[in-house]
Homo-oligomer: A and B are copies of this chain.
Amino acid sequence: MTFKSFHPPVRTLMGPGPSDVNPRVLAAMSRPTIGHLDPVFVDMMDEMKGLLQYAFQTRNALTLPVSAPGSAGMETCFVNLVQPGDTVVVCANGVFGGRMKENVERCGATPVMVEDEWGKPVDPQKLEDALKAHPQASTVAFVHAETSTGACSDVKTLTDIAHRHGCLVIVDSVTGLGGVELRVDDWGVDAIYSGSQKCLSCTPGLSPVSFNEAAVERIKSRKHKVQSWFLDLSLVMGYWGGGTKRAYHHTAPINALYALHESLVVLQEEGLENAWARHRAQHEALKAGLDTMGLSMIVAPEHRLPQLNAVKVPAGVDEAAVRKLLLDEFNLEIGAGLGPLAGKVWRIGLMGYGANRKNVLFCLGALETALVAQGADIVPGRAVAAARAVYGA
């Protein structure tokens, strides 16, 4: 069998990520590869750290992109901060809490689960109760922005509770970073991981992480070696640790890092608060359009992530057929539901570069068409008009 060059179609990516990539990021990605110990590259790594510190709103020295997707960023946090025999309270209100549990178990530690309904934020009272019942717990893990549901949890409140009980926190903000308020230092977050392919509008494959002094102290005082050589921060820091002397650990994904650097430069140019406001504004317009079609969200307004809209599939509508029509006829990708929400919701992403008027209006128009094709009682054009009204047009 012989194969030819691959030429992907041009899609509009409005699912749970990867999101639409900024053309500046794609251009950066194809710049000439240089060596991972090249002095020019090392300077770029220092800039990367500064840019990530800005995005996370932190001064943490241990702030870097893990050379693999968000799942590896998650694993970096767990394998470095959790040791065999530890007890870790894991708050689960969607897919990613369950994945954290898997990580805890594979570290030889015991997870204590705090469960909330999918679509709800983590309940601080349940966390408080769990920590009272398990005073031996050393760590609390929870998701800031649940990609599977679109629910936003209160990072500061949960972190305060964990700290009062002597625990460090591990926070998943894969979908949060760059899209919604996140203040790592002000909120006291000990360890956090994110992903390149959501609100940073970069290509998938990298996972920004940040660790504060308390987390670094814990890593330094470990009794067991970190079970992963690749993700062992005591080794990774020999390369990412700053200064002109960098020790080879692994070959960094050079071009992917060019892309992440560019996406963070774009974020800095816009300003973090402006980016958060833009996500909110586009969400309001999308919401207004969805309202006209009688479509509602599964998350209550006060806990909703603007960048991830989990929309209930109306009775009698074939959710997969709608997604297929959008993909085939509009080159538009929206996401399906996961786990207990499979078949029950669509997930419409408004992330980073993709959180713009064109995408909102295009998506609403396409969705109207798809629902009419399903026999829904919709007047085409009303959704787009409602969104335009929000924009003040």
Residues of A within 8 A of B (CB): 1-11, 13, 15, 17-18, 20-21, 24, 26-36, 38-41, 44, 47, 50-51, 67-72, 74-75, 99, 102-103, 105-107, 195, 197, 203-205, 225-230, 248-256, 258-259, 261-262, 264-265, 268, 327, 333, 338
**Chain B residues whose C-beta falls within 8 Å of the C-beta of A74 in the assembled complex:** 229-230
Q: B8, A21: Cβ atoms under 8 Å?
A: no
A238 to B51, CA, bound (A): 35
Task: Pick the residue among B32, B99, B256, B265 that contacts A253 (CB under 8 A).
Answer: B256
| Residue among B21, B36, B71 making CB contact with A33, cutoff 8 Å | B21
The reply to whether A8 and B32 contact each other, CB–CB distance below 8 Å, is yes
19 A-B pairs whose Cβ atoms sit less than 8 Å apart in the complex: A3-B51, A6-B265, A8-B41, A8-B44, A11-B32, A11-B35, A17-B251, A26-B255, A29-B29, A35-B333, A38-B327, A67-B68, A69-B251, A70-B251, A71-B251, A74-B230, A99-B229, A103-B229, A228-B228
Find out whether the CB atom of B13 lies under 8 angstroms from the CB atom of A253. no
Beyond A6-B265, A8-B31, A255-B256, list 11 extra A-B contacts (CB 8 Å): A5-B261, A9-B40, A11-B34, A18-B35, A21-B32, A21-B33, A67-B68, A69-B250, A106-B227, A197-B251, A227-B227
Q: Distance in Å from the Cβ of A52 to the closest Cβ of chain B? A: 11
Q: Which 6 A-B pairs have the closest CB atoms?
A: A205-B253, A30-B30, A68-B68, A71-B250, A203-B255, A26-B30
Contacts of A4 in B (CB 8 A): 265
CA of A262 to CA of B5 in the docked complex: distance in angstroms?
A: 6
B30 touches A29 (CB 8 A): yes
Q: Using A67-B68, A251-B70 as known contacts, say yes or no to A106 and B34 having CB atoms under 8 A apart.
A: no
Instruction: Tell me whether B71 and A229 are in contact (CB under 8 A).
Output: yes
A40–B8 contact, CB under 8 A?
yes
Given contacts A17-B251, A50-B3, contact A228 B69 (CB under 8 A): no
CB closest chain-B residue, reference A103: B229
CA distance A248 to B32 in the complex (A): 32
B230, A71: Cβ atoms under 8 Å? yes
CB-defined contacts of A259 to chain B, threshold 8 Å: 255
A107 to chain B, nearest CB (A): 8
What's the nearest-Cβ distance from chain B to residue A95, in Å?
9
Q: Are B10 and A106 in contact (CB under 8 A)?
A: no
Given the complex of chains A and B, what is the CA–CA distance between A255 and B33 in angstroms? 15
| CB-nearest residue of chain B to A33 | B21
Residues on B with beta carbons closer than 8 Å to the beta carbon of A106: 225-229
Q: Which residues of B contact A13 (CB under 8 A)?
A: 33-35
Identify which of B6, B9, B102 contacts A229 (C-beta below 8 A): B102
**Across the interface, which residues of B come within 8 angstroms of A3, CB to CB?**
47, 50-51, 261, 264-265, 268
Distance of A361 from chain B, by nearest CB (Å):
20
Residues of chain B lying within 8 A (CB to CB) of residue A44: 6, 8
Chain B residues positioned under 8 Å from A262 (CB to CB): 5-6
Give the contacting residue for A28; candidates B5, B9, B268; CB below 8 A. B5
Name A256's contact: one of B36, B205, B264 (CB within 8 Å): B205
Q: B7, A251: Cβ atoms under 8 Å?
A: no
A35, A44, A102, A248: most-surrounded residue (chain B CB, <10 A): A35
List B contacts of A47 (CB < 8 A).
3, 6
Partner of A38, one of B11, B27, B71: B11
Asked if A265 contacts B5 (CB within 8 A), the reply is yes
**B15-A35 in contact (CB<8A):** yes
